[in-house]
Amino acid sequence: MSIAVHHLSKNYGSQKAVDAISFEAKPGEIVGFLGPNGAGKSTTMKMITGYIQSDSGIIKVCGADAGVNQMLIKSKIGYLPELNPLYTDMYVREYLEFIAGLHQVSDKKQRIQEVIEATGLQREAHKQIHQLSKGYKQRVGLAAAIMHNPEVLILDEPTSGLDPNQIIEIRNLIKSLSKDKTIIFSSHILQEVEAICDRVIIINKGVIVANALLEELKSFSEKSVVRVVLKEVLEAAWFERLPAAGHVSKISSSEWEIETENEQLLRQQLLSLAVAQNLNIVSLQTGNKSLEEVFRSATLENKE
């Protein structure tokens, strides 16, 4: 395993930020690390990277124990914090030369050119960092994170504050980097997680409440969702009175999503309703919950 965390904990005074969590991440895997604000995501990432010390537990990166050889661990990890720390008065290439020197990169000139090309910074490399858009500043942060060709990348909110075009660019860049690296990717943009991640870990109040492949996670819920489209415009009450119906969500004036614990029975009741009320069903489909619905269920149901 590239990353193995066992019973990891961190307290801030009387507040338990991370509570004995355990998880693993395999080589070549992009793992989405999700949770509400204050759930313990950034704290966990900082402990893995060695920015802060854990109170208890074991962290292993590429087989090396963080408690024994922290410097070796840092050489194997590239880290992009949520608040991307850059020396904005420096030129892009100058800054990357500085980072390469810190990591004692051999053949610095060649490696700097490689990361500039990998991150799409060719046209911006002659500029001072403060002249760059936020999207290109994120690219500089990623370039710095991969300068020493680490086996593991820890990315904390790498698309935060970017416009849609910049988000797609960073997403594609992260996907390309995952070919030979393990990536832990934290984001509040759940559509990004669905687009980029192989597996998802959800943490809430310092405890892992879900850990599974993305498609498996969506199917974990006992409830399924039936999507019905009609020609007629109806009110939610028409569906809420069906015995097999749970929460009813309006998608549009004639399209609805209905949660149910018995999908087959709900479909029968919808068809019976259509016959009895002379309604025209355009489509009737069943699907798993979206990642957003799974996230809300996992975090809201675990509130105290």
For 136-167, the pLDDT digits (tens) are 999 999 999 999 999 999 999 888 778 888 88
| Segment 61-95, tens digit of pLDDT | 998 898 888 888 889 999 999 888 899 999 999 99
Q: How far apart are CA 200 and CA 211, in angstroms?
A: 6
Nearest Cα neighbor of 287 from 218, 236, 199 is 218
Residue 290 has pLDDT above 80, yes or no: no
pLDDT the model gives residue 149 = 92
User: To the nearest whole percent, how much of the chain has pLDDT over 70?
Assistant: 95
pLDDT class for 304, splitting at 50, 70, 90? very low
Q: What is the pLDDT of residues 215-262, one digit of tens each?
A: 777 665 556 789 999 999 999 999 999 999 988 988 888 899 898 888
- List, for residues 92-128, the tens digit of each pLDDT value: 999 999 999 999 998 999 999 999 998 889 999 999 9
Domains defined for the chain, CATH in brackets:
3-218 (3.40.50.300), 222-287 (3.30.70.1560)
Given a contact cutoff of 8 angstroms between Cβ atoms, the answer to whether 229 and 253 are in contact is no
Instruction: Read off the pLDDT of residues 36-57 as tens digits, 9 standing for 90 and up.
Output: 988 999 999 999 998 899 999 9
Mean pLDDT of the chain: 89
Q: Which residues contact 218 (CB under 8 A, 6 or more apart)?
A: 288, 289, 290, 291, 294
Residues 53-64: tens digit of each pLDDT = 999 999 999 988
Distance, CA of 204 to CA of 182 (rounded, Å) = 23
Res 221: pLDDT? 56
- The pLDDT value given to residue 294: 77
**What is the percent of the chain where pLDDT is above 90?**
57
The predicted pLDDT at position 179 comes to 82
Least confident of 16-25, 179-188, 270-279: 179-188
Q: Please report, for residues 19, 168, 193, 194, 212, the alpha-carbon distance to residue 178 in angstroms, rounded to integers and kept in the order given.
A: 29, 15, 14, 15, 18
Residue 301 pLDDT > 70: no
